[in-house]
Amino acid sequence: MLLLCQTKEYLESLNPGETKFLEKYMIGWQKVHTWEPSSFLKQVKDDRLLLTVNPRLTNCPSEYKDDLVFAKRFWEHDINLAYTWNSIKEEFSTARHLYYQSFSQDKELIEVSEITEYIDTLDSANFGLRSGFLKTSLRLAVDLLDKFAGFFNLYLELGNDPTKVMWSNVWYEKLKYKKSFDNSLNPIIFEKLEYNPYLKALVNLRKNLYDKKYEDFYPFKILRDYITHQGIILHNNKVIDESKENYNLEQMQQETYFLLRMVKAAIIYLVGVVMIEEEEKEKRLII
């Protein structure tokens, strides 16, 4: 009671401008401390698909963000670096959204999906917005790695034609493969691998996704190509024809989730590459 009286006396002693500021502050404080994330945000947090390095999120709206950023404004000499970075985050968030939409039982979504009629193939094949969202999510997740190629071509000053760089070839000198991956490495990248562990991690990821000897990961590249060119068939029930073109809907959701987690790690590695490179630049300036 004494505290309430003291608070009242304090508020009465303030001029109108100060009172308004304090009231605004208290309202903001109350919102933050009574805020609860939506079920969707909780799911994204539990699935660890937020683009953040914060391992423990509290009930604070400012923490439920894709807040992964660079420590320094290195892009000021070339705004295209900022554009490319924003595109990477945009495509990841879009792929993530489409992934979650593939689980949706929203009545309006179902109604919109039913507008389009398909041939009944009598084998539980699933065509519609949910399966379309899932296929597009996986394709976007794989394709956005090509944005990494454009980013590195600019940032590391590799000097390649920007219209020809891709995730699969940006690592090569003059974008050309010579007998083996290691023999083809661009000298600029090869030199940086000695001190930049994040760049080394991305090189290994590139091998995992594209080289046939890495059978656990290589199917993602195959999946992307099939979805883009031939078309993947998703089924509600167990797949009878277990060829590369046929997947159970739930199985594809698991594959897509794993790929999204992998791409998130790659985006964090990209930030790490820049962090180490900027530190190296500072060292050279000091010397």
Reduce the secondary structure of the chain to three states and give it as a string: CHHHHHHHHHHHHCCHHHHHHHHHHHHHHHHHHHCCCCHHHHHHHHCCCCCCCCCCCCCCHHHCCCCCCCCCCHHHHCHHHHHHHHHHHHHHHHHHHHHHHCCCCCHHHHHHHCCCCCCCCCCCEECCHHHHHHHHHHHHHHHCHHHHHHHHHHHCCCCCCCCCCCCCCCCEHHHCCECEHHHHECHHHHHHCCCCHHHHHHHHHHHHHHCCCCCCCCHHHHHHHHHHHHCCEEECCCCCCCCCCEEEHHHHHHHHHHHHHHHHHHHHHHHHHHHHHHHHHHHHHHC
More confident residue, 104 or 227: 104
Going by pLDDT thresholds of 50, 70 and 90, the confidence category of residue 2 is very low
Going by pLDDT thresholds of 50, 70 and 90, the confidence category of residue 158 is very high
163, pLDDT greater than 80: yes
Contact 273, 160 (CB under 8 A): no
Q: Tell me, what's the pLDDT at 9?
A: 58
244, pLDDT greater than 80: no
Stretch 237-256: mean pLDDT, rounded?
75
Q: Tell me, what's the pLDDT at 5?
A: 46
Going by pLDDT thresholds of 50, 70 and 90, the confidence category of residue 231 is confident
84, pLDDT greater than 50: yes
More confident residue, 228 or 125: 125
pTM: 0.81
> Could you tell me the residue ranges of all domains in the chain?
71-286
Q: Tell me, what's the pLDDT at 193?
A: 94
